[in-house]
Structure 1
């Protein structure tokens, strides 16, 4: 995925296909789509009923002939046809007509670090189905670093942690490139699942599909640290009787339940630091790391990393849109390329 800034400046729109949300940046218009990566299908007719936020609200509330699907998993398109149809509806007729008027439509897309050729091909095929004649792939780590304002082009270390829904990526960057990086199959969904499993096993309580995030928010700003509230009330369905029931949950037990996925993230950060040159690690002692991605807003996650690593930890101003804003800045030509001219003999 080595693409030049000159090639990106020729692109007309950029897409960040996330497992949780899909975002589209159109050159000259800015961010035009920021919707959940969800589509609702009528299994009898094959028709697309809804996409985005409306389709997400249908989750767990549909009759048997309506199926709610997520065509993107872990940054990889798992159903190209549905992903294409979802994108067409999210863009709308007006934007699609303006893009079709381009003589040779070019697109850019974020791709996970170390994505295999099959995953890259799936992203390209999805955008080709929208009419793109050429698709450029940009590493999500580079795009997110640019989007949150890190000086990646300087000869000094910048560390970024991309906290996605299905995966977490961590990297150290210098001189406009990735020095060392690690991709972990652990994200916000793993934390959600850990909480769901704990409540099912310990309290025989099943949660509605969309109630785990509110549970995390109920833990307050220090939710993953001992300084949060002592308990919180949770509403769900009793596993045995099937009736609605409320339980008061000890938040210390919830913090214990999510330690396994969070410890995997800490192990990944430690591996990257061990593989990083000592001079760059010395830079990070002062600069620390920057968290981006929707799961970076998990209450208390930054404090947990700060205590575990001993480094400063910062959350980007708008962590959820950093990647698409970064690739959008490249499209608009707001990023100057790094030029390393060979010395004359």
Structure 2
């Protein structure tokens, strides 16, 4: 190992719309929400990640909260740069030795344009990356759950993240056919906010919508072990006073139905354009669900009923993508699907 490489830190990044994860030496060293708080008048960064998240919906006029990624791609270049810089400082804060340069593998949605790829590369390079490799999210997810993507066997991955849902059929180190749609966890939260307003005349914020989704979110009205009803506090739109209502998983299944139907359509469309030889592989192995959206109760049964294919929620779906990105980082020379 040369002197130049000795000070180069190798990290794998899942630059997600909702969460920012970093793996180093096979360990997750950063797992924070993708959000930055700025002072509005000075432009100074006040907080990043969890600390900034605690301010959401509660900040005064002097604090500006920014989610740098929208639909899986960088929407605010300056905020993204500050966020990556802050997250990398978190790694160095835990170590005695300071590394000034990085080799990074970053995962990106498969529907990403060349301009959007450039934006991610530029952000990484400004924060000290000497070598940047990109990997498509569905491939990273497949590698992360232990599938051999270099074989001529077909695998179907449905990765439901915060900003995008990626549906892809993989074989021979590449994506044979895919659909990338901008319907995912953030849309589920927006659906819940609308539903609470229309059904109960209660106004809630995005953080509360996320809590409801985690507590009673469901993909269908009949599920095993249904969760208890959840108490939601918000503002009554008629009186303007604080109000509490209880919502059930049944309400959520109704509320999320339209968004989930769009994801189902994308899966069916992808299956329609899949080459027949790969279709027979998928018929045997089924569909793998990854990403935070895979945790929605009953989603695997709903997709299985629609496609007539075995559907599996992978182990620890939230971290499948970043784990795969970490494995790709260790095998940079061997994996042909990494993009420079």
Q: TM-score, normalised by structure 1?
A: 0.87
Query: Where does 1:171-250 land on structure 2 (aligned, <5 Å)?
Result: 171-219=168-216, 224-227=220-223, 228=226, 232-249=230-247
**SS of the residue 1:133 aligns to:** strand
Task: Compute the displacement of 1:265 (Å).
Answer: 0.3
Q: Which of 110, 121, 131 pairs up with 2:118?
A: 121
Cα pair 2:216 2:252 within 8 Å, conserved? no
- Structure 1 residues 128 and 15 mapped into 2: Cα distance closer, same or farther (>3 Å)? same
Q: TM-score, normalised by structure 2?
A: 0.88
**SS of the residue 1:12 aligns to:** strand
Cα pair 1:162 1:169 within 8 Å, conserved? yes
Counterpart for residue 132 of structure 1: 129
- Structure 1 residues 253 and 199 mapped into 2: Cα distance closer, same or farther (>3 Å)? same
Cα pair 2:221 2:254 within 8 Å, conserved? no
Separation of aligned partners in 2, 1:214 and 1:122: 32
Task: Compute the displacement of 1:197 (Å).
Answer: 0.7
**SS of the residue 1:256 aligns to:** helix
Q: Which of 21, 29, 32 pairs up with 2:29?
A: 32
Cα pair 1:151 1:158 within 8 Å, conserved? no
- Structure 1 residues 335 and 204 mapped into 2: Cα distance closer, same or farther (>3 Å)? farther
Separation of aligned partners in 1, 2:333 and 2:222: 42
Cα pair 2:189 2:206 within 8 Å, conserved? no
Task: Compute the displacement of 1:31 (Å).
Answer: 2.2
Q: Does 1:327 align with 2:325?
A: yes
Separation of aligned partners in 1, 2:335 and 2:247: 52
- Which runs of at least 4 in structure 1 moved beyond 4 Å after TM superposition? 229-232, 334-338
Task: Compute the displacement of 1:43 (Å).
Answer: 0.6
The superposition leaves residues 60-85 of structure 1 with CA deviations (integer Å, 9 ceiling, x where unpaired) of 11111011111111221122222222
How many residues end up aligned between the 2 structures? 324
Q: Which of 27, 34, 39 pairs up with 1:42?
A: 39
Greater Cα shift, 84-93 or 41-50: 84-93
Query: Where does 1:55-134 land on structure 2 (aligned, <5 Å)?
Result: 55-92=52-89, 95=92, 98-100=98-100, 102=101, 105-134=102-131
Task: Compute the displacement of 1:174 (Å).
Answer: 1.2
Task: Compute the displacement of 1:219 (Å).
Answer: 2.4
Cα pair 2:328 2:335 within 8 Å, conserved? no
Task: Compute the displacement of 1:335 (Å).
Answer: 9.0
**SS of the residue 1:194 aligns to:** helix
- Structure 1 residues 224 and 334 mapped into 2: Cα distance closer, same or farther (>3 Å)? farther
The superposition leaves residues 5-25 of structure 1 with CA deviations (integer Å, 9 ceiling, x where unpaired) of xxxxx9822222110011122
Uncovered stretches (5+) of structure 1, i.e. residues with no partner:
1-9, 339-345
Counterpart for residue 280 of structure 1: 278
Counterpart for residue 165 of structure 1: 162
**SS of the residue 2:206 aligns to:** coil
Counterpart for residue 13 of structure 1: 11
Cα pair 1:217 1:299 within 8 Å, conserved? no
Separation of aligned partners in 2, 1:99 and 1:29: 18
**SS of the residue 1:189 aligns to:** helix
